[in-house]
Amino acid sequence: MEYIINTTLYILKGTVVSLKIYAVTAIFSVPLAIFFALGKVSKHKTLKIVLEAYTWIFRGTPLLLQLFFAYYGLPILGITMTPFMAAALTFIVNYAAYLTEIFRAGIESIDKGQYEAAHSLGMNYVQTMRRVVIPQAIRRVLPPTCNEAITLVKDTALVAAIGMADLLRSAKEVLTRDFTIIPFVIAALFYLAMSWVIVIVFKKIEQKYTVY
């Protein structure tokens, strides 16, 4: 029992690293994706082309490759970052690309009649998006956004590739040292617990937006 407690406490230190990456990614990628999604549904052709290229590149290449590029490739160009900075930047731009497409699809799924009705009530474009379109779009994008949020939990394990002592790497270190499967079982329970919390949070959010 003492071994399990000590192992759990050690792995918990790695869990903190994973949670930091998760929190930074969520905090910055979501508003960035909303901004980009609004840009993709705007009438600015140049902006739409740039954003299309951005989402195509970051959705079309492996996250691990992007992580290696940020940590090992950018120093060649004179840009050096700590492992955490490289991981945070990579995860933010990668997940913002996926969320941009999810939010864009949600906005474009709203019937055009909603825009016309808002216009007839005297609302301008910003008011229409804020009061009519976005509240309805949020309800529609919650399920795919929840999937991305759960995927992010698992993707944080990739930071071990650039030397960060995350949840999975901590478990692997204990397994290598003691040659027992217990660390992996504990790590799996941590991942499942985090995913469970995310599902609960999104269910609460869905209930809040059911009115729409």
What's the confidence (pLDDT) of residue 128?
Answer: 81
Domains observed in the chain = 18-164 (1.10.3720.10)
User: Closest by alpha carbon to 67, among 170, 166, 184?
Assistant: 166
- Tell me how many degrees the CA angle 101-111-34 measures, rounded to the nearest 5: 30
- Over the chain (212 residues), the average pLDDT of each successive run of 10 is 88 94 97 94 91 97 97 94 96 98 92 78 79 83 95 95 92 90 94 96 85 54
What's the confidence (pLDDT) of residue 135?
Answer: 82
pLDDT tens, 159-197?
999 989 899 999 999 989 888 899 999 999 999 999 999
What's the confidence (pLDDT) of residue 115?
Answer: 75
Entry pTM: 0.91
- Residue 208 CA to residue 171 CA, distance in Å, equals 38
**Token pair for 17:** 């690293």
What's the confidence (pLDDT) of residue 126?
Answer: 76
What's the confidence (pLDDT) of residue 211?
Answer: 58
What's the confidence (pLDDT) of residue 154?
Answer: 95
DSSP string, 68-124: HIIIIIGGGGT----HHHHHHHHHHHHHHHHHHHHHHHHHHTS-HHHHHHHHHTT--
